[in-house]
Structure 1
Amino acid sequence: MFRRLGLSVYPDSSVFEEDLAYITFAKSQGFERIFMSMLEVTQGKGVVAEKFSKLISAAKKLGYEVILDIAPNIFDELQISYDDLSFFAELGADGLRLDAGFDGNKEATLSFNPYGLIIELNMSNDVAYLDNILTYQANEPYIYGCHNFYPQEGSALPFDFFVSCSKRFKKHGIRTAAFVSSQVATGGPWDINDGLPTLELHRHLPVEVQAKHLFATGLIDDVIIGNAYASEAELEALGDINRYQIELTVDFLPSANPVEREIVLDNQHFRRGDITSQMVRSTQVRKDYKQENPLHDNQQIFQFGDVVVGNDDFGKYKNELQIVLEPHTDSRKNKVAQIQENELMLLDYIQPWTKFRFKQ
């Protein structure tokens, strides 16, 4: 399934012109979907309709898919019924995210709404919620899944629980989404905002590292910035990531020579299928690069995340690239770079035959 980037806006507590500038710049960076919160609306139906339809119309002209986040109290507030979704269709939305669930049959029925609105389900519960809905013969192409975000420090999902929840959706081929958190944005739905990630381990990481991790799991199709507004630098960094293979950011040693730098940066790498626990081996490059490679930085203990290249003493293995997984020494290898510390967790996802790249 193709992968997308998304962002969040909060029209009930923001200014239209600022929202428009934000989504316009994000579109230029490759963003494709918008999470638009309606959880905070307290004004009448007419005011809400005018405010949301104006922003949704602008987003649709830019080519965004727009999903509205709703809860049961919204229907009471706006005096509308779950049995008639025409209000949301008239706003121009593409779908509704149900913050709270029903009995399964209700969600299945909603997926056949006459307006073609997508029904997005809450993924952050490790129960057979989706299975129950599908048992009622839901309209599967119109079912998405999306995790929650968590404004309070320490309250977001632990990783193992996130994996278990996500697998329940991914096994059915349902489009999935999760949130990452800008490190500068302060906007959100509530008065507490310690960031808005799905995963607690992401809360204080650079936003592009969070996204790389979610995509690397293979469990998430859409990565959405939970808080607003992310900086232009963050939007650019997200737009620049490789959504379909792991791309590791490295810091080169000053002594790394031009051939070694080219081996690292200018090649499509893949891990050998017959793996070893000591290192990730990218062996094709040694066949393509026959140049001499003098010895340097080859006497230390190589550490987890070091990038090494075989030197002139390594015979047929000269110019083979390896990523160190277990500390070891081998004077036939030159240390040329280190993977940045906050991306070391991505090495867990380089399995037999996994394709990967590097960037400086």
Structure 2
Amino acid sequence: MRNLGISIYPEHSTKENDLAYMKMAAKYGFTRIFTCLLSVEESKEETISNFSNFISQAHNLGYTVSVDTNGHVFEFLGAKADNLSVFSQMGVDIIRLDWPLSDSENILMTNNPYGIAVEFNASSDISLDLLIKKGANRNAMSTCHNFYPQEYTGLSKKRFDYFTDKYYQMGLPVHSFISSNNENTFGPWPVFKGLCTLEEHRYKAIDYQLRHLIADRRINDIIIGNAFASEDELKVLSQIDLSIPSLKINLNNDIMDIEENILFDFVHADRIDSSEYFIRSSSTRIFAKDSDIPAKNVDKEFFERGDVLIVNNKLAHYKGEIQIVKKQIKNTGERNLLGYLDENEQLILNMLCEQNPFRIIKGE
């Protein structure tokens, strides 16, 4: 099950603002919080007290809380791999290791008696399979990518795929970050260029970032790395189906009701015997069998990549089939143009294999 998350940085905010944000996000179905102990500058006692209160409030709102840590944080808090009592005292659900400890310590942590999960840095090359072989508790392990505050430092898609596939193939959950485009957001460090995992997501619409990661299919929880996202952003994310990829179409103005019903009311999927020219969603033909889909004049000699089509009455046997162009085809008059997918949506399209279910949703 995929969850949506937010990030809270108590040392850079106020208790009132943090609580208000947590309440607002909870209203929109967010159930996970990421926070960071790496940047805390308070005393040990103040840190334990403040984070205990904050995490207690988060639990009351139904959140699971992960805290970013490393060896220095452990030393600062007086924690050890075989004694995570201070994290239990604070109410921590997940310890994220920005950098792992020794193998023996990592193994001990995953077998702690408090039920605290251990989350490893998915943006690094760690031999977690060997840890499991040596006795680490797989059921208490997950991975979460880094976020990157500095422009041009986020992961490339190629590197992201390498890391993600490594841990996905081990059967471990892999989580990732997206970024709010709200003004005056912040993170644990004084850099304000967004907090995404993938560099190509920086400054992109937040709903696109989410849908892109959903289409990846290997990513579980998706967390907004910077605070505070706007209510509009939280709302739009809450309206996205987390269980299935979706493509946002820019609709033509002349779309007919029957075309709109077929486009939006069905789950689509390319055929197993796929074409190099377009994705064919054929199951809609049964619904359209007795419907009238008259041919419309389309003033284009060719349909281009990203064009979304529906077969009209001129090809009666295939009438109602949705086709998304992958490679230029000639306009023969047998297909109506419903709209198009922009360059971002085409990146999601690239990630859909044969028979992968997906929905088409309306653009703004």
Shared fold per TM-score greater than 0.5: yes
Structure 1 distance, partners of 2:195, 2:134, is 33
| Aligned match of 1:5 | 4
| Aligned mates of 1:217, 1:251 — CA distance in 2 | 22
Alignment deviations for residues 58-99 of structure 1 (CA, whole Å, 9 cap, x no partner):
110111110111122223333443442111101111121011
- 1:269 is paired with a residue whose SS is coil
From 152, 161, 164, the equivalent of 1:163 is 161
Determine the C-alpha separation between the residues in 1 that align with 2:94 and 2:358: 35
Whether 1:256 and 2:258 are equivalent positions in the alignment is no
CA distance in 2, matches of 1:246, 1:297: 31
Contact between 1:42 and 1:77, CA under 8 Å: does it hold in 2? Answer: no
Question: In structure 1, how many angstroms separate the alpha carbons of the residues matched to 2:238 and 2:201?
Answer: 18
In the aligned structure 2, how far is the partner of 1:359 from the partner of 1:254?
15
Q: Write the mapping of 1:103-182 to structure 2, written as runs, cut at 5 A.
A: 103-125=102-124, 127-182=125-180
Sequence identity (%): 35
In the TM superposition, what whole-angstrom CA distance separates every residue of 1:235-289 from its partner, at most 9, and x where no partner exists? 1111111112111111211111111111111112221111001000011212211
* Structure 1: distance between partners of 2:13 and 2:134: 39
**Residue of structure 1 equivalent to 2:292:** 292
SS of structure 2 residue aligned to 1:69: strand
SS at 2:358's partner residue? strand
**CA deviations over 1:157-181 (Å, ceiling 9, x no partner):** 1111111111111112112111101
Equivalent residues of 2:71, 2:101 under 8 A apart: no
Report the count of equivalent residues. 358
Partner of 2:244: 245
Q: In 1, Cα distance between the equivalents of 2:264 and 2:78?
A: 58
Measure the CA separation in 1 of the matches of 2:212 and 2:274.
Answer: 22
- In the alignment, does 2:310 pair up with 1:312? no
Q: CA deviation at 1:128?
A: 4.1
Name the counterpart of 2:225: 226
**Aligned partner letter, 1:295:** A
TM-superposed CA distance for 1:149, in Å, is: 0.5
How far apart, CA to CA, are the structure 1 residues paired with 2:36 and 2:102? 23
Q: TM-score, normalised by structure 1?
A: 0.96
Aligned partner of 2:267 in structure 1 is 268
Q: Give the gaps of 5 or more residues in structure 1.
A: none
The range that moved more, 184-193 or 89-98, is 184-193
Residues in 2 aligned to 1:40 and 1:82: alpha-carbon distance in whole angstroms? 21
Root-mean-square deviation (Å) = 1.4
Partner of 1:63: 62
- Residue 215 of structure 2 contacts residue 246 of structure 2 at CA under 8 Å; is this kept in 1? no
Query: Kindly tell me: are residues 297 and 195 of structure 1, through their superposed partners in 2, closer, same or farther at Cα, counting changes over 3 Å?
Result: farther
Is 1:297–1:335's contact at 8 Å kept on the other side of the alignment? no
- Report the equivalent of 2:330: 329
Cα deviation 1:279-328 (Å, max 9, x = unaligned): 00011212211222222243412111111111221231122111111111
* Aligned amino acid, residue 316 of structure 2: G
User: Which residue matches 1:15?
Assistant: 14
1:261 is aligned with what amino acid?
A: E
**Alignment map for 1:211-222 (pairs within 5 Å):** 211-222=210-221
- What does 1:47-86 correspond to in 2, within 5 Å? 47-86=46-85
Q: SS at 1:294's partner residue?
A: coil
Aligned residue identity for 1:205 = K
In the alignment, the residues of structure 2 paired with residue 282 and residue 359 of structure 1 have an alpha-carbon distance, to the nearest angstrom, of 15
Contact 1:255–1:296 (Cα < 8 Å) also in 2: no
Q: For residues 24-46 of structure 1, what are the alpha-carbon distances to aligned partners after superposition, in whole Å with 9 as ceiling and x for unaligned?
A: 11111111111111111111122
Q: Distance in 2 between matches of 1:298 and 1:316?
A: 21
8 A Cα contact 1:310 1:332, kept in partner:
yes
Q: Is the 8 A contact 1:149 1:198 kept in 2?
A: yes
Q: SS where residue 329 of structure 2 aligns?
A: coil
The code of the aligned residue for 2:310 comes to V
Counterpart-to-counterpart distance in 1, 2:235 and 2:283: 32
Unaligned runs of 5+ in 2: none
CA distance in 2: counterparts of 1:335 and 1:297, whole angstroms: 9
Equivalents in 2 of 1:83, 1:42: separation in Å?
A: 25
- Aligned residue in 2 for 1:277: 276
Name the aligned partner's letter for residue 141 of structure 1.
N
Equivalent position amino acid for 2:293 in 1: N
